[in-house]
Amino acid sequence: MNDPINVFWFRRDLRLNDNRGFFEALKSGRKVLPVFIFDTEILSKLPSDDERVNFIYQRIEQLNDQLLIVNSSLAVYSGKPVDVFSSLATKMNIEAVFTNHDYEPYSIYRDAEISKMLEKWGIAFKTYKDQVLFEAGEILKSDGKPYVVFTPFSRKWLEKMNEDGTGFYDSQSLLHNLLNQANNSMPSLKQMGFDNTHLSFPEPAISDQLISSYAETRNFPGLDSTSRLGLHLRFGTISVRDCIRAGKELSATWLNELIWREFFMQILAHFPHVVKSSFRKEYDRIQWLNDEEMFSRWCEGTTGYPLVDAGMRELSQTGFMHNRVRMVVASFLTKHLLIDWRWGEAWFAEKLLDFELSSNNGNWQWAAGSGCDAAPYFRIFNPTEQAKKFDPQSVYVLKWLPEYGTPAYPEAIVEHSFARKRCLNVYQAALKG
């Protein structure tokens, strides 16, 4: 029998340094085989031109280039994780599989299935906290119940951060403990049913200047003033602890956005019903119009409201949308058009490079008024006034709507004051029961 080894399973943590589970595997006393699995349970639900798959693929290639320096490489597979590990268990003398926690419903189910299978082989399954600073059960009210309002949650979060610190895991200094192996052949994108879109992604970088001015500039979509780190946090190509340390030093406003991310993660953990229904169940009584033609106009960016249309065009063309604009387009869909927030949530889930279930769900429910600590239902953004305030020179609008100001630009599909009054009537009728 060969000497026992340990496996580290890369997932939403595609980096070599400050990686908690990877660090624990590398200091375990056994040689470590690094593994990545293109999970066909997830891939089968994605379109062939999904840019996120391209991003992951490029990142795996980059990691392999870095691992070559220490005569190692990732073992990359495509399939169902439970089948991949079952096969590995028959071929190798594995003592333990290390990985980092994942908090979405499918991930929880998958990990339980794999843990049970590995147990039959006598293989330990060890998982660690890495993609958040604090998990759901760590930030609770004095009575042990979860927070459902952001401000007291954030106070408790900050208090605990100041007590516990952020930590750092120097996994890169332990790479000599990886198993020496030649570069394994990776399945190609084409073999997995995906197109190479040739889109290049910037390396994750924390800009001190950008973060320092974040509070003053973040609401203006015409400025290049957002960090674009959402994609990197989603797939762990940057350490959340690095981001939190930067926020602590440079910008309370930027740090606050990271706390919102963890707030929505703990909401998903404590209240899993939010995946399919409203956090506030009375909001499921709303009589949505769900007009498919109106929804198509919203998706295409042809509503006749320039800020809304510019945002939807930016999303379709880049997989990104400015945060201020996300709020405006979400409010417009749910309140001006009275289309179910779940339709918008699903569209964002398909299109956003930085899609994260908990944040996407939490923000859509916030916009619709149905979520925890949500905007009150009677708060209805006026897209025209939002454009005047945050894009006064139409820099953002003209970038994405070259036809704006010409006869080719469509008339508004709904009049604001009419839509506002209709929304209030429909919401009030639902909430009265």
pLDDT tens digits along 13-38: 999 999 999 999 999 999 999 999 99
Superfamily of segment(s) 273-431: DNA Cyclobutane Dipyrimidine Photolyase, subunit A, domain 3 (1.10.579.10)
pLDDT tens-digit readout, 62-121: 999 999 999 999 999 999 999 999 999 999 999 999 999 999 999 999 999 999 999 999
pLDDT band at 200 (very low <50, low <70, confident <90, very high): confident
Domain boundaries, the chain: 5-129, 132-165+206-270, 273-431
Is 80 exceeded by the pLDDT of residue 183? no
Residue 198: what pLDDT? 79
CATH fold of 132-165+206-270 reads 1.25.40
- What is the CATH code for 5-129? 3.40.50.620
How far is 261 from 244, CA to CA, in rounded Å? 12
Using 50, 70 and 90 to split pLDDT, how confident is the model at 224? confident
pLDDT tens-digit profile of 355-374? 999 999 999 999 999 999 87
